[in-house]
Amino acid sequence: MKLIAGNSNRPLAEAIAAYLDTPLTKASVRRFADMEVFVEILENIRGEDVFVIQSTSYPANDHLMELLVTLDGLKRASARRITAVIPYFGYARQDRKTGPRTPISAKLVANLIVTAGANRVLTIDLHAGQIQGFFDIPTDNLFAAPVFAKDYFDRLGKGPTTVVSPDVGGVLRARAFGKRLDAELAIIDKRRERAGDSEVMNVIGDVSGRRCILVDDIVDSGGTLCNAAVALMERGAASVHAYVTHGVLSGGGGRPGERLAHCRSRDHGQYRGDRGRAHVAECEPVVDRAAFGRGDQAHQRRKFGFEPVRLNTPIDCNTPVD
Ligand code: R5P
């Protein structure tokens, strides 16, 4: 077996290599003057079972291209089987036509990965489970929920809890997580009544006086989490916590970490003081850090305004609960 890492998350690849006691295969990634990517695999991989570890995280297009040319290089070097390990599958949010004359980019990217040479894909918490069907090769979609559930029981313990999906698209994920916690389910329904009007948040389910656990696959600008947390507090939630698999945190017009830390209620200003436990700084986004690309914890603190919690507990993530 051979492991090859792209540049999307070297620390993760090195940790996997150390855990498996298998060194990373030597490879070099260089650029032409016009920024074309050139990958050279520096070891013989003929007949090998090769795992390429590369998220298509920020900068998504560079990391995607690096993955594609690496897969092509491996295929042409006669690897026996090539598994693309893509902890964070970018472009997943473009999984349907959202309007006339728009692409389904997730399908296009899946086609590219298969055409480039992948025989199998391994990923975590796809934005929507049905994206597995976009790949015409076996696709393993692992779940972060067991890791989250262990953290929940270790740190928060049992109590009157409601798991909340921050949007209608995340209901399956929230329901499955709620089963693990033996918690109730609530759903936030975001609506823009007319273009230009601010969003109306309807909360479906009982959250008053309850500990609310938001669960989502992606935190990007932080807007979804923040708005959801405010809506829950306005409806009397006792506290709000969040578990998120992929900390994309790419900006969206500000520092997402700061947005999470200083989430404002529309009517009551910032949630602080004796209600401090409820403000979103304590949301504790749990991320795979695949989306962070390079950077150590200090870098993440500077860039995002907080240091994401990282769960290292080795747990079998391949246990779906529906
Ligand atoms: C949306 O469907 C996703 O599950 C996330 O809720 C969304 O991508 C989060 O984005 P942001 O943090 O920018 O609101």
Q: Which atom of ligand 1 is nearest to the CA of 170?
A: 4
In this structure, the strands spanning 81-86 and 49-53 are parallel
Q: Give yes or no: 26 in active site.
A: no
Asked if 250 and 257 count as a contact pair (C-beta separation under 8 A), the reply is: no
How far apart, in Å, are the Cα atoms of 270 and each of 111, 188, 273?
Answer: 46, 21, 9
Please, is 167 exposed, middle or buried when counting C-beta atoms within 10 Å of its C-beta (0-12, 13-18, 19+)? middle
Q: Strand, helix or coil at 303?
A: helix
Q: How far is the CA of 221 from the centre of ligand 1 (A)?
A: 8
Task: Find all residues with CB under 8 Å of 54, minimum gap 6, and list them.
Answer: 5, 6, 7, 8, 9, 63, 66, 67, 70, 84, 85, 86
Candidate of 168, 172, 216, 221 to mutate for ligand 1, largest count of ligand atoms within 8 Å of Cβ: 216
Enter the tokens of residue 5. 């890492």
DSSP annotation of 84 reads E
From 107, 150, 179, 190, the catalytic residue? 190
Q: How far is the CA of 260 from the centre of ligand 1 (A)?
A: 13
Q: How far is the CA of 224 from the centre of ligand 1 (A)?
A: 6
With a Cβ cut-off of 6 Å, ligand 1 is lined by 93, 166-167, 169-170, 216-224, 252
In this structure, the strands spanning 211-219 and 81-86 are unpaired
| pLDDT one digit per residue (tens) for the chain, 322 residues | 999 999 998 999 999 999 999 999 999 999 999 999 999 999 999 999 999 999 998 899 999 999 999 999 999 999 999 999 999 999 999 999 999 999 999 999 999 999 999 999 999 999 999 999 999 999 999 999 998 899 899 888 888 999 999 988 899 999 999 999 999 999 999 876 665 555 767 999 999 999 999 999 988 888 888 888 888 988 999 988 889 898 887 765 556 666 666 555 444 333 332 232 333 333 333 333 333 333 344 544 444 444 444 433 333 333 333 3
What global pTM score does this model have?
A: 0.81
